[in-house]
Amino acid sequence: MACTLWVLARARDEGLKKLERVPAGVRVVVGDTAEAFDGQPPADAIFVCSMGRELLRAVLPKAPGARWVHSRSVGVENILFPGLAESGVTLTNGRGVFSPSLAEWVIAAVLFFAKDLRRLVKSQEAGRWDPFPPEMVQGRWMGIVGYGDIGRAIAARARGLGMRVRALRRNVTAPPGDPAPDEILPPERLADLMALSDDVVVTTPLTPDTRGLIGEREIRAMKPTGLLINVGRGAVVQERPLVDALRRRSIRGAALDVFETEPLPAGHPFFTLDNLLLSPHSADQVPGWLDGAMDGFLDNLDRFLAGQPLQNVVDPRRGY
């Protein structure tokens, strides 16, 4: 099948090397400005590789026959705009590529606090012999806010440690083929999940409904020994009440890979807190992540060319 693919990417994007694998008959046009696509054959498909909403908004009207838009990332909030939903194109994302690495990071964060690894490192650096009893995570409850592909990957690893899983999702029936969590709660019971869980993990995408979802009320509901982990989107968790809670030590701690503003500004209070573990939105940047993301796109491209149903379809109105 002949096809024109527009790729919204910077020329130095390393992932472009993978496009050498596109099937014969696919014309690839790469650009990082709207003008780069002027005079080119109209796109049948658009791959948002390393650019965002403004460029997609500018080029979509130039491709009235486009039937598919793919986002290399999992979160699509940075490319959504009303015209995309109204265009009727099928939107897909990179779901599944990043789930294993994010799940491992979450488990590392849980163990970091349970075994008090910060204390161990400080004692070692000070040359101090400081025995103390580490905690077990077996038998603890992990609450997962957003039980999609990432949430399920986290749950599987938590169960491997003997933890019990409580999930928050719109549909209280477990996905087909997935071992059911020990408990599934609807969104209106978020405060209950926060109060009943030992470790709360946020994986939900950023949508109008989830922006600021975890605020003062939800954080106050947590156990004094509770740990809050966010690997979803920074704006889902309100930072001011979280900083206040960490300073008061009304919760045990937090582990964050995502933030409201990235990079995190110099002088941000997060840098001063000894009960916070942070990473610079890099938990999923493991070796091979780019190959995995590009392979996922190419697999979907094969489906598109064959007229088969696409994987990882996203509802552009809901944002997931």
For 53-87, what is each residue's pLDDT tens digit? 999 999 999 999 999 999 999 999 999 999 998 99
Question: If phi over 0 gives left and psi between -120 and 50 gives alpha, with beta otherwise, what is residue 7?
Answer: beta
* 103 and 152 belong to one structural domain: yes
User: Is 283 contained in some domain?
Assistant: no
* 207 and 292 belong to one structural domain: no
Residue 5 pLDDT > 80: yes
pLDDT for res 312: 97
User: Is 210 contained in some domain?
Assistant: yes
* 180 and 51 belong to one structural domain: no
Going by pLDDT thresholds of 50, 70 and 90, the confidence category of residue 171 is: confident
- Return the active site residues: 233, 262, 281
pLDDT for res 129: 98
Going by pLDDT thresholds of 50, 70 and 90, the confidence category of residue 11 is: confident
User: Is 220 contained in some domain?
Assistant: yes
Quick one: average pLDDT of 26-32? 97
Mean pLDDT, rounded, of the chain: 96
C-alpha span between 125 and 76 (Å, rounded): 43
User: Is 23 contained in some domain?
Assistant: yes
User: Is 123 contained in some domain?
Assistant: yes
Closest CA to 159 of 116, 106, 118: 106
User: Is 320 contained in some domain?
Assistant: no
pLDDT for res 282: 97
* 125 and 224 belong to one structural domain: yes
* 105 and 69 belong to one structural domain: no
User: Is 116 contained in some domain?
Assistant: yes
User: Is 251 contained in some domain?
Assistant: yes
CB neighbours of 47 closer than 8 A, spacing ≥ 6? 5, 6, 7, 8, 9, 69, 70, 72, 297
- In the chain, what percentage of residues exceed pLDDT 90? 92
* 140 and 241 belong to one structural domain: yes
Q: Which helix (H) or strand (E) holds 165?
A: strand 164-168
Residue 177 pLDDT > 80: no
- Say which range, 141-145, 174-178, 283-287, has the weakest mean pLDDT: 174-178
Query: Number of folded domains in the chain?
Result: 2
* 115 and 176 belong to one structural domain: yes
* 203 and 181 belong to one structural domain: yes
Domain of 203, CATH number, reads 3.40.50.720
Residue 168 pLDDT > 80: yes
Structural domain that includes position 82: 3-97+288-314
* 240 and 135 belong to one structural domain: yes
* 51 and 163 belong to one structural domain: no
* 145 and 225 belong to one structural domain: yes
| Predicted model pTM | 0.93
* 224 and 129 belong to one structural domain: yes
